[in-house]
Amino acid sequence: MSDDKHAEYLEKVQQYDADADPAIVRKIANKLGIALRNRDSSLVSCSDKSELERVRDGFAKKTLGLDADHSDDEIMEKINEVCVQMAGDKGNKHRVPFYYLLAKGTNTLDKV
């Protein structure tokens, strides 16, 4: 992934966290890889329950390891907090800042 794209993702994250760690943003973008090339898969729909469940079961549980100490309902609560935090974005939310904010909000940035 080009440095221009990483800079673009960092800029998107910094709209919510001015002190965002560029290395973590890069890791998230690299993990998402090809998904970021498709507009639909690069976005999170907070109004789509099945989409949020995929975020929970994929990124939150598998990458962040939240299932060890949190119930599904607790994880969904954290995901919904990110939806609220990003509510200013009209429509769907970009996946890189969404995942960054979820990791930050759950104190699991070190697991990205």
Domain locations along the chain: 3-111
What pLDDT, on the 0 to 100 scale, is given for residue 45?
95
Are the beta carbons of 78 and 102 closer than 8 angstroms? yes
What pLDDT, on the 0 to 100 scale, is given for residue 108?
97
Instruction: Give the integer Cα–Cα distance in Å for 102 and 5.
Output: 21
What pLDDT, on the 0 to 100 scale, is given for residue 13?
97
What pLDDT, on the 0 to 100 scale, is given for residue 65?
96
Place of tokens 């070190």: 110
- Whole-model pTM? 0.94
Are the beta carbons of 24 and 109 closer than 8 angstroms? yes
Query: 10-residue block means of pLDDT along the chain (112 residues)?
Result: 84 96 97 92 96 97 94 98 92 95 97 96
How many CA atoms are closer than 13 Å to the CA of 62, on its beta-carbon side? 8
CATH of 3-111, one of 1.10.238.120, 2.60.120.10, 2.60.120.40, 3.40.50.970: 1.10.238.120
What pLDDT, on the 0 to 100 scale, is given for residue 81?
98
